[in-house]
Amino acid sequence: MNIAKLHPVDHAAEAMPTDLAGLEAWFDRRLDEKLAEREAAKVPSLAIIATKGTMDMAYPPFILASTAAALGWNASIFFTFYGLELLKKDLDLKVSPLGNPAMPMKMPFGPEWLKRINMPIPNLVAGNLPGFENLATTMMEQTVKAKGVPSIRELRDICVESGVRLVACQMTVDLFNYRQDEFIPEIAEWIGATSYLAEARNADVCLFV
C-alpha cells in the first residue's frame, strides 16, 4: 500500500525559498500567521479602578465589569478611597446632585412628557434644602426600578457569580480605620495600588471611574 497516496504532503506549502528575498517574505508571512493565531486565542481583559461611593457612580464599574464577564473577558475592579463603600455588606448609597450639574433630575412616575423633562437643580438648593439628598436618592431608586435596571446589590452579585475579581485597597482600609469584616467575603484580594497597577498594566482596557 502506498502511504504517500493516503496522506499526501503539500510540498509547495512546506517548501522554503532559497533566495534571500523569498526567505524574508516567507518568515514575514509565518510571523504574521503566528501573531494572528496568538491574538485569536487571547482572552481580553478589563481593569477598572472605582473611586466613588455614591449610588449613581456605583453603576458604571459594576455594569462594565459584568458585561465584560458576559463576553468572556477577564475582568477585575479595584475599589479605592470612597469606592470601598461599594463592597460593604450593608449598602447605604446615596445620590448627591450637589456639584453635579450634568445629572438630570427626572420624575420616575407620571405622564411620559413629565418623565422626559430634565430638572436642573441649583447647587444653592441641593446643598441647603434639608432632605434633598434623600429625595434625589429615592427618585433615582424608583427610576431604576421602573426601568427594570438591577439594583447595585444585584449587579454586585452578578459580578461575583460571573467571576469578576473584586479587589480592595488595603491602604484605604487602614486610612479610614475600616475592618475587613465590614465587607463582603467575596473580595479576592486586599492589596495596594502598586500590586494592582502591575495587573492593570497588562489589561487590554483600563478604566478609571
Closest CA to 62 of 179, 70, 102: 70
Kindly report which listed range (32-41, 57-66, 125-134) carries the lowest average pLDDT score: 125-134
> Is the confidence at residue 201, as pLDDT, over 70?
yes
Tell the burial category of 178 from Cβ atoms under 10 Å away from its Cβ (0-12, 13-18, 19+).
middle
Q: How confident is the model at residue 202 (pLDDT cuts 50, 70, 90)?
A: very high
Mean pLDDT of all residues belonging to the chain: 80
- The highest-level CATH class for domain 45-208 is alpha beta
**Spatial separation of the C-alpha atoms in residues 155 and 139, rounded to whole Å:** 19
Closest CA to 198 of 29, 76, 116, 50: 76
Q: Rounded mean pLDDT of 177-202? A: 94
CA atoms within 13 A on the CB side of 94: 9
Report the pLDDT value the prediction gives residue 11, as an integer from 0 to 100.
43
Residue-wise pLDDT for 94-106, tens only, equals 887 655 655 666 5
Q: How confident is the model at residue 47 (pLDDT cuts 50, 70, 90)?
A: very high
Give me the residue label for grid cell 475592579.
77
Kindly report which listed range (19-33, 52-66, 114-128) carries the lowest average pLDDT score: 114-128
pLDDT higher for 169 or 29?
169
pLDDT higher for 138 or 65?
65
Report the pLDDT value the prediction gives residue 113, as an integer from 0 to 100.
55
Report the pLDDT value the prediction gives residue 4, as an integer from 0 to 100.
47
> Is the confidence at residue 63, as pLDDT, over 70?
yes
Q: Rounded mean pLDDT of 75-102? A: 85
Report the pLDDT value the prediction gives residue 3, as an integer from 0 to 100.
45
Quickly list DSSP for 26-45. HHHHHHHHHHHHHHHHPPPE
Q: Provide the 8-state DSSP code for 84.
A: G
Report the pLDDT value the prediction gives residue 94, as an integer from 0 to 100.
84
pTM of the model: 0.71
Domain residue limits, the chain: 45-208
Residue-wise pLDDT for 131-174, tens only, equals 666 767 777 777 778 778 899 999 999 999 999 999 999 999 99
